[in-house]
Amino acid sequence: MHGQNCGGHGKNRDAWRIEREAKRAAWRVRFAARRAGQGDWSHFKDPKFWGLDAESMKQWGLNSDWGMDGQQTGPNQSEVEQLKAQVAEMETTIDSMQERIAVLERLILDLDKETRESRLAAEIEKLRDRPEGGT
């Protein structure tokens, strides 16, 4: 059984398995090398790639988001604070809207038709009078 031909090549099973594993290992190395080269866009920030010097790239706006050392610079602190404030405002608006939706759904499902309309109008007015984002 151990001396059988595998794949019709006259090799025993162990030699065939070793050859197959070597081929797989070589493929993995080639695959890793190909994957390592993907997503490498660093040549775009190199002025030589564009045929420009660093000053010309600044004039054309090609280097506005990249530092001259090639590291991407993030937003400054005031922009971060402004975005955080905007997100907080949006979250309070969303919470307020979700609360309003829950109240209206409850009113629509719980009341009979005559009471529903008058109570619905009263609840809507109460929600309108409340300041935005208030609970």
pTM: 0.33
| Domain range list for the chain | 1-40, 42-74, 75-135
- Largest Cα–Cα distance of the chain, in whole Å? 92
* CB environment 33-65: b (16+ within 10 A), e (fewer): eeeeeeeeeeeebebeeeebeeeebeeeebbee
pLDDT in tens, 17-32: 999 999 999 999 988 8
pLDDT in tens, 94-119: 999 999 888 888 777 776 666 767 77
Q: Which long-range contacts (CB under 8 A, 24 or more apart) does 124-131 make?
A: 127/100, 127/103
User: How confident is residue 68, by pLDDT bands cut at 50, 70 and 90?
Assistant: very low
